[in-house]
């Protein structure tokens, strides 16, 4: 996959923590940022999928829900 160049501002303390982590694990900052971005995107996308499945389950089991409520 092709790499793209990005530019952003980051809190200095967070940047220093990231640099220290990269050194500790013998990884590049770019590699850590890529991993962090992938993790963030994956976590943000899970919630809508979970909610969609929950709504489908509630709809599929509407009659059972009514019976349990009685």
In three-state form (DSSP H/G/I as H, E/B as E, the rest C), the secondary structure along the chain is CCCCCCCCCCCHHHHHHHHHHHHHCCCCHHHHHHHHHHHHHHHHHHHHHHHHHHHHHHHHCHHHHHHHHC
Residue 20 lies in a domain: no
CA distance 18 to 12: 10
For the residues 5-9, what does the mean pLDDT come to? 93
Domain count along the chain:
1
CA-based radius of gyration for the chain: 21
- Identify the band that residue 42 occupies on the pLDDT scale cut at 50, 70 and 90: confident
Residue 17 lies in a domain: no
Predicted model pTM:
0.62
Residue 45 lies in a domain: yes
Residue 39's domain spans which residues? 27-69
């Amino acid at each position: 996959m092709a790499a793209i160049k990005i530019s952003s501002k980051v809190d200095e303390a967070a940047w220093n923590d990231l640099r220290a982590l990269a050194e500790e694990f013998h990884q590049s900052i770019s590699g850590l940022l890529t991993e962090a971005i992938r993790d963030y995107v994956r976590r943000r996308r899970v919630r809508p999928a979970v909610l969609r499945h929950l709504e489908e389950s509630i709809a599929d089991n509407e009659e059972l829900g009514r019976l349990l409520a009685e």
